[in-house]
Copies of this chain bind each other. A is one copy, B any other.
Amino acid sequence: MKLKQLYTTVLLLTVTCTAIAADIAPNGLTLPEGYKDWKMIGSSHRTDNNTLRIILGNDIASEAARAGKTNPWPDGAILAKLVYKDRIDENWKGATVPGKFVHAEFMYKDAKKHKDSGGWGWARWVGMEQKPYGKDTKFWKECHDCHLPVKGRDYVFTTPAKLP
């Protein structure tokens, strides 16, 4: 009986740790809960790599975007970029629409906490299974360096879409 209890405990711990690990990027950042419900910030069609992107923001990011206070973005703002392979819509050939889900990328603003990486934490979860991206704790340099050309825009490419 004791052996069975031990077995159950080990099994539960394994399942729990696996679940937790799946949500944590190599640099310790966590996949934000409920990000799919966040508000619309913008969209982009990357014709250079055939992806459609939808950019969402948490409440702090959304408020900043609507107020035009995005340089710098306020601490606590998180931006989510949902990336899809693009495809021609089967019912409207003149429209390119989201196809296969590629990954979700996140930028977490905290000027103090993330001072060594431009004031932002960087993370990405890949595929429908949301596998954390990156081999080691320094993986974020790839994200950061790609965003360096827009350092003057607080490292953010996205210009929030205008809202009436």
Chain A positions near chain B (C-beta within 8 angstroms): 36-40, 42-49, 52-54, 56, 82, 84, 86, 89, 91-92, 94-98, 100-101, 104, 125, 127-130, 149-150, 153, 157-159, 161-164
- CB closest residue in chain B, given A39: B37
Establish whether residues A47 and B149, one from each chain, have CB atoms under 8 Å apart when the complex forms: no
A94 and B52 contacting across the interface, CB-CB below 8 Å: no
Task: State the Cβ distance, A107 to closest chain B Cβ, in Å.
Answer: 15
Number of copies: 2
Secondary structure class of chain A's binding surface, majority of residues = strand
Docked CA distance A148–B53 (Å): 28
Q: Are B45 and A95 in contact (CB under 8 A)?
A: yes
Known: A36-B39, A49-B94, A94-B49. A44 touches B89 (CB 8 A): yes
Residues of B within 8 A of A38 (CB): 40
Assembled-state Cα–Cα distance A157/B54 (Å):
18
Q: Which of B130, B157, B162 contacts A89 (CB 8 A)?
A: B157
A52: shortest Cβ distance to chain B, in Å? 6
Residue of B with least CB distance to A42 = B98
Q: What are the residues of chain B within 8 A of A95 when measuring CB–CB? A: 44-48, 157
Interface CB pairs A-B, < 8 A, 18: A43-B97, A43-B98, A44-B89, A44-B97, A45-B52, A45-B95, A45-B96, A47-B95, A54-B161, A84-B161, A84-B162, A89-B157, A89-B159, A91-B150, A91-B153, A98-B162, A101-B161, A127-B164
